[in-house]
Amino acid sequence: MSSKIDALFNYVQERCLWQFFSRTWDRQENIDGILATATDLLAGQAPKLDTPMDRLFYADAKIMVSDLRARLPWLNETPPAEIRELIEGLKARLEEIAIAGSKNRELSHHLY
């Protein structure tokens, strides 16, 4: 499980600008929204597309899921319950590096 989460985490670190938005709340919003949509897509469920933000999360999640399926073939065989567990692990890692453990001194400034 840990090595699988490592693989997901390494992909996001290398490819995804959304993890490093300007402020903690932007980063948290992206992590929550994109990973929730990615979980739906990986589990074969229809994503929510009701609002502009839903469509934004879908745009990022769709490309991420497509890349992950190509790079990590074992993901295609993983059952939905395990996918949820993996994404939870990934979410914790991203929150740690991009928010809780970040040394960026501007992350919590109340203004942009």
Binding site for another protein (CB under 8 A): 13-15, 17-23, 26, 52-53, 55-56, 58-60, 62-63, 96-98, 101-106, 112
DSSP summary character for residue 55: H
**Is the Cβ of residue 80 or residue 109 nearer to another protein in the bound state?**
109
Least Å distance, CB 21 to another protein, is 8
Q: Within 10 A of 90 (CB to CB), how many other CB atoms are there? A: 22
Residue 73 CB, nearest approach to another protein (Å): 20
Look at the chain and count its residues: 112
Q: Which is nearer to another protein, 82 or 96 (CB)?
A: 96
Q: Select 21 or 43, whichever has its Cβ closest to another protein.
A: 21
Encode 54-70: b = buried (16+ Cβ within 10 Å), e = exposed: eebbbebbeebbeebee
Nearer to another protein, 44 or 52 (CB): 52
CA torsion sign, 2 to 75 to 11 to 49?
Answer: negative
Instruction: Kindly write down the DSSP assignment for every residue of 20-52, as one continuous string.
Output: G-SSHHHHHHHHHHHHHHHHHHHTTPPPP-SSH
Q: Taking the complex as a whole, how short is the minimal distance between the CB of residue 63 and another protein, in angstroms?
A: 5
Minimum Å distance from CB 32 to another protein?
14
